[in-house]
Structure 1
Amino acid sequence: MRVHGLTLIELLVTLTVVVVIMLAGVPALQNLLMGQRMTAQINDFVHSVFLAKQSAHTRQTETVICKSSTGRRCEPGADWSDGWLMFANQDQDYPATVDANEPVLAIGDAFRHGNIHGNRREFVFRAFEIRSTNGTLVFCDARGAAHARAVVISYTGRPRIATTRPGGSPLRCPTL
């Protein structure tokens, strides 16, 4: 007579193998998930930069991207983690404020899984042959500076992604 089934030892060995695989795989999956969240946030901001450049040319007026937690007004400070606002700054005031007749073109979501630190309170994009605001936003998450990415915006309004500071030194992240 042949018996079908598993012995207790076979079940324990199988369970041990599954646990070891899970212990090795979960941190890698978590790292992948954090990286994808940061990439999505960076892509969202870069898309806003391209949209702001296009809007400045199309509308023939300044387009501003500024930090904003409410989506209604620009706010001072270097922490962009609560989101941003893009609008057509038709009266070209400085610092830029959203007036009743100025259309809001986009609102960027908060980065809930890290922080964004910038060296500008706003980025101004202008129509043809006039300099735009240059600056840098550094995106960080719980993994620290080793995984930080920066969006560097040139005077022409062109964004690029950087993994180090201009001299090659690592990016710095404010504490989470």
Structure 2
Amino acid sequence: MRIIFIYLSGVGYPQAPGGLRGVRRDRVKRFTAPMIDRPFTARITTFSRCGVDSARAPSILAAMKRQSGFNIIELMVAIAVFGVLLGVGIPGVESYIQNGRMTTQINSLSTALSHARSEAIKLNQRVVVCVSENGTSCDAVGTGNGWNKGWLVFVDRNANGVLNKGGSGVDDCAQGATTDCLLFQQKAFDGTNTLTPAVSVPDVLVYVGDGSVRCNTDSSLATLESCPNATTYFTLCDFRGAAHAKAVGISNTGRISSLDKQPNGSALTCP
């Protein structure tokens, strides 16, 4: 696109010395208008869209063509490097996420056990921690469900090992209540991680008023026994196996500890 400027000198418009600077003489045309008593000069010049004489346009276009981006070889090299970085980085990110998930899950069990012990001491009552798949009652003894299915923590006021709630409108946790108070419900873990109990804690464990723990080693809730240290722990595993397993142990006094091996010193095992 060209913009045409006409410079007039003539009637009432004195011409500056030298005329319009930069205008070629072959572009100046003189003519006499009949209706005007003196001749005037029309100077016509053209400018490019950006205000540059069109004679310089080819050199500008040539300079623009010399400014190129990536060629196909450089692009392929960049893609190859990016692919290598993804191959190295993605497994590390996946491992980081899986480790974080396992830490969260094993900490949820440790927190539940610590809370149960604290409530048993505060209330001087039995507090039961049992595996629960349905989230409303303890699983039957001997079902063999892993604790990754979920669990319940409740104050067992009638000491029968069963969650007996008072029904709608009843505050089971009120002071002086005679029904069982549900303290915490853990839902099943997401994913395929397994939380396996040792032989002393297959389904349930109970904290008593002094903070110590009792186990159901004979598969009968009517009687509870002391918990052997060597077989009172839980092992959390994922698809990576025993090399990445985590464990929580429980002492006779009810204290919780993190383990990287079995209490007897053997390596952790996964199902």
Query: Normalization by structure 2: what TM-score?
Result: 0.60
Tell me the residue number matched to 2:213.
Answer: 132
SS across alignment from 2:147: coil
Residues 83-102 of structure 1: pairs in structure 2 closer than 5 A: 83-93=150-160, 96-100=161-165, 101-102=179-180
Tell me the residue number matched to 1:32.
Answer: 96
| Aligned equivalents of 1:40, 1:109: Cα separation in 2 | 13
Indicate the structure whose relative CO is greater, using CA pairs within 8 Å and at least 6 residues apart: 1
- How far did residue 105 of structure 1 move? 0.5
Tell me which stretches of 4 or more aligned residues in structure 1 moved more than 4 Å.
none
How many aligned positions are there? 171
Residues 34-57 of structure 1: CA distance to partner in whole angstroms, max 9, x if unpaired?
Answer: 111110011111111111111111
Say whether 1:115 aligns with 2:179: no
Contact 2:249 2:263 in 1 (8 A): no
Question: Of the two, which has the highest radius of gyration?
Answer: 2
Residues 119-155 of structure 1: CA distance to partner in whole angstroms, max 9, x if unpaired?
Answer: 2111211112x63134211100111110011110111
- How far did residue 78 of structure 1 move? 5.1
Tell me the residue number matched to 1:106.
Answer: 184
Tell me the residue number matched to 2:113.
Answer: 49
SS across alignment from 2:149: coil
Identity of aligned residues (%): 32
Tell me the residue number matched to 2:137.
Answer: 73
Residues 69-105 of structure 1: CA distance to partner in whole angstroms, max 9, x if unpaired?
Answer: 1111111335111111100011112xx1111221110
Query: Normalization by structure 1: what TM-score?
Result: 0.91
Contact 1:146 1:170 in 2 (8 A): no
| Aligned equivalents of 1:154, 1:35: Cα separation in 2 | 26
Tell me the residue number matched to 2:239.
Answer: 142
Tell me the residue number matched to 2:260.
Answer: 163
- How far did residue 10 of structure 1 move? 1.1
Tell me the residue number matched to 2:46.
Answer: none
Tell me the residue number matched to 1:22.
Answer: 86
| Aligned equivalents of 1:72, 1:102: Cα separation in 2 | 12
- How far did residue 166 of structure 1 move? 2.7
| Aligned equivalents of 1:54, 1:166: Cα separation in 2 | 23
Unaligned runs of 5+ in 1: none
Unaligned runs of 5+ in 2: 1-62, 166-178, 215-226
Tell me the residue number matched to 2:250.
Answer: 153
- How far did residue 112 of structure 1 move? 2.5
Q: 1:14 to 1:6 in 2, by over 3 A?
A: same
Contact 1:132 1:157 in 2 (8 A): yes
| Aligned equivalents of 2:262, 2:145: Cα separation in 1 | 17
Contact 1:63 1:87 in 2 (8 A): yes
- How far did residue 9 of structure 1 move? 1.1
| Aligned equivalents of 2:124, 2:114: Cα separation in 1 | 15
| Corresponding letter in the other structure for 1:123 | L
| Aligned equivalents of 1:87, 1:17: Cα separation in 2 | 56
| Aligned equivalents of 1:86, 1:6: Cα separation in 2 | 64
After superposition, the CA RMSD in angstroms is: 1.4
